[in-house]
Amino acid sequence: MSSGDSRYLARVAGGIAVGALAAQVWDHILNMGDEVKYLWRGKLNLVKVLYFSVRYFILGVQIITQVMSFELEAAHHGFWGQCKTLRIIRITSGMLSAMVLQMILLIRVRALYYESRLARYFLSILYHVVVASQLAGITILIQDLKSSSNCDLHPRAQFFGLILFGIGGGVFQIMNVGMTVTKLAFRKPRTPLMAILLREAVYTFMALSSLISAQLVNQAFNKDKHLQRAFFAYVVFKGLKWLAMLTTTPTISSSWYLASISIGVRHRHRHYLINTQIHFSFPHRGRNFS
């Protein structure tokens, strides 16, 4: 990649990251009252830990890496040691955020199918296979970046590593959306909250799938492989990390609902109903773990 392409890509990607950060900060401001009311009170459990990890820890890591990127760009590619550290932090933070987000989505689907032992086993196996595929891809990418000798902040990524990572994430998202839509679409009666979440899930999945497909087609037929591969790697490990956190919490109803999908879900008269009194619990064989 030429120096001009690298600088242009850095400006575009930096603008996207800043815009996504502003949108997420605004989302935090809007939802803070409900978040304190529903999530900060009560006992700390796994669902809360996962939610706060995605909501705050990953956000902090993203801000730090973005600031480091700006500093290195301003210093004309900076020092190689700092550059390599920044690359590894970016990739590992992206992997951690993906794993936590996938676990939250897994909990949501598991809550919908909590009566089915077969579904629970299937979801558990699926998660481990997906994580193994993504870890293999990340390992290949890190080894490739460690062998590099320049400080291009947006280098051409090892394509096979991206393929492994993308296959794992793609399979998980397709199965997650498919099982969620199947459960909610054919369940009656469907509450207004269920209808909103179902509609948002379908629209978000279609939008992100279209963006990723367009980028893949563009990469396949564009002659400038260096720029396209670098941009694709950047979108996968940075842009989509922001989009995932933003689009999985598009409204206040789904913001806390995503992190605590099992809130107040009870089995009454063969229907699942959402309790009006919000509390953290996970239904399991008729028992309630607060």
C-alpha to C-alpha distance for 217 and 235, rounded to whole angstroms: 15
Domain presence at residue 39: yes
Q: Report pLDDT for 187.
A: 67
Domain presence at residue 281: no
C-alpha to C-alpha distance for 239 and 14, rounded to whole angstroms: 10
Domain presence at residue 264: no
Domain presence at residue 272: no
Q: Report pLDDT for 224.
A: 54
Q: Report pLDDT for 269.
A: 33
Q: What are phi and psi of 2, to 5 degrees?
A: -75, 160
Q: Report pLDDT for 243.
A: 46
pTM: 0.59
Kindly report the CATH number assigned to the domain that includes residue 91. Answer: 1.20.1070
Q: Which of 246, 259, 267, 257 is nearest to 62 (CA)?
A: 246
Domain presence at residue 280: no
Structure-block tokens of residue 266: 């009870």
C-alpha to C-alpha distance for 5 and 180, rounded to whole angstroms: 41
Domain presence at residue 25: yes
Contacts by 82-88 with C-beta closer than 8 Å and gap 24+? 83/151, 83/153, 84/145, 84/146, 84/151, 86/153, 87/145, 87/153, 87/155, 88/142, 88/145, 88/146
Q: Report pLDDT for 42.
A: 77
Q: What are phi and psi of 32, to 5 degrees?
A: -60, -45
As for how many domains the chain has, the answer is: 1
Full domain range(s) for residue 101: 3-257
- What's the Rg (C-alpha) of the chain? 20
287 pairs with which residues across the strands?
A: 284
C-alpha to C-alpha distance for 257 and 35, rounded to whole angstroms: 10
Domain presence at residue 20: yes
Burial classification of residue 28, based on how many CB atoms lie within 10 Å of its CB (0-12 exposed, 13-18 middle, 19 or more buried): middle
Structure-block tokens of residue 158: 């090892």
CA 223 to chain centre: 30
From first to last of its 290 residues, what are the pLDDT tens digits of the chain? 445 555 555 555 556 666 667 777 787 787 778 777 777 777 887 777 877 877 777 777 777 777 776 666 555 555 666 777 777 777 777 777 778 778 878 887 887 787 788 888 888 898 889 889 888 888 887 787 777 666 655 555 667 777 787 788 778 878 887 887 777 777 666 667 667 766 776 777 777 777 766 766 665 565 555 544 555 554 554 444 444 444 443 333 333 344 333 333 333 333 333 333 333 333 333 333 33
Q: Is the peptide bond before 189 cis (omega within 30 degrees of 0)?
A: yes
Q: Which of 117, 106, 108 is nearest to 260 (CA)?
A: 108
Q: Report pLDDT for 61.
A: 75
